[in-house]
Amino acid sequence: MEKVALFATCLTDTLYPATARATVRLLERLGLTVEFPLDQTCCGQMHFNTGYRDHAADLAVRFASMFSGYDAVVVPSGSCAGMVRHVQPDLGAAPPPTYELSEFLVDVLQVTDVGAYFPHRVTYHPTCHSLRMLGVGDKPLALLRQVRGLELVELPQADSCCGFGGTFAVKNADTSTAMLADKMRCVLDTGAEVLTAGDNSCLMHIGGGLSRLRTGVRPVHLAEVLASTEEEPWAPATR
């Protein structure tokens, strides 16, 4: 694997840059050299899901051109990885091999122990796109089980949606709020200190609800958990 690129995604780039930095730190610790093309933009999912197919197609072609020549593109988002791999080809683009982070680690690099240390009680939310569109299965759990110091607790009704769903939360606010309430109750039932997932969109949605209730449960992206070590432990991002 000679040329690996990071596609940070819009949400991570603008709101959660610590996730992008953690992804690079993790991959470099595993011996890879990671490039970050500065002109990268959006995968086009928001445009496609709201009916702006032509705009999504323009972004798909841009993505394919931007990342051509790389052996692999790693995305800390099941949602955007799914868009690139399963939708962009139908929009006239030919994206390079693109992987969600956990499937890149387990399937491509064939590692589950990434040398992480994260001494917290953690529960994992499998996001809809990573679970149903990409089929990552238990790869994130396999990675989390190898993290030293981490106590992994099962999330009840784990495969139910959090209610975010891109524009779903905006168009169907009442339903989204009800789904969020169910998901938060499940998270709180675990007694976990930390909720992790492979998509910042879901973590933003669930974390916002947990914060408003002042639960003290922290949403932390899977990349940040896996990047944490005894020498360089995870710490809440400051902006």
pLDDT tens by residue, the chain, 239 residues: 679 999 999 999 999 999 999 999 999 999 999 999 999 999 999 999 889 999 999 999 999 999 999 999 999 999 999 999 999 999 999 999 999 999 999 999 999 999 999 999 999 999 999 999 999 999 999 999 999 999 999 999 999 999 998 788 888 999 999 999 999 999 999 999 999 999 999 999 999 999 999 999 999 999 999 999 999 999 887 65
Residue carrying structure tokens 């020549």: 69
For residue 138, the 8-state DSSP code is T
For position 231, what pLDDT does the model report? 95
What would you report as the CA-atom Rg of the chain, rounded to the nearest whole angstrom? 17
For position 206, what pLDDT does the model report? 96
Helix (H) or strand (E) holding 25: helix 17-29
For position 168, what pLDDT does the model report? 86
Helix (H) or strand (E) holding 113: none
Q: Which amino acid is at 8?
A: A
User: Tokens in use for 55?
Assistant: 């705009």
Distance CA 142, CA 150 (A): 12
For position 55, what pLDDT does the model report? 96
Nearest to 100 by CA among 18, 225, 222, 235: 222
For position 155, what pLDDT does the model report? 97
- Cα 6 versus chain centre, distance: 13
For position 177, what pLDDT does the model report? 94
For position 181, what pLDDT does the model report? 96
Distances (CA, A) of 90 to 61, 77, 134, 135: 11, 20, 16, 19
User: Tokens in use for 138?
Assistant: 């238990």
Nearest to 43 by CA among 57, 31, 22: 57
For position 238, what pLDDT does the model report? 64
Domains, the chain, with CATH or none: 4-108 (3.40.50), 121-227 (3.40.50)
Distance CA 57, CA 93 (A): 8
User: Tokens in use for 169?
Assistant: 């939360």
- DSSP lists the bridge partners of residue 80 as none
Name the 3-class secondary structure at 6. Answer: strand
The tally of CA atoms less than 13 A away on the side-chain side of residue 37 is 20
> How is the beta sheet containing 34-35 ordered, strand by strand?
34-35, 4-6, 72-75, 98-100
For position 237, what pLDDT does the model report? 76
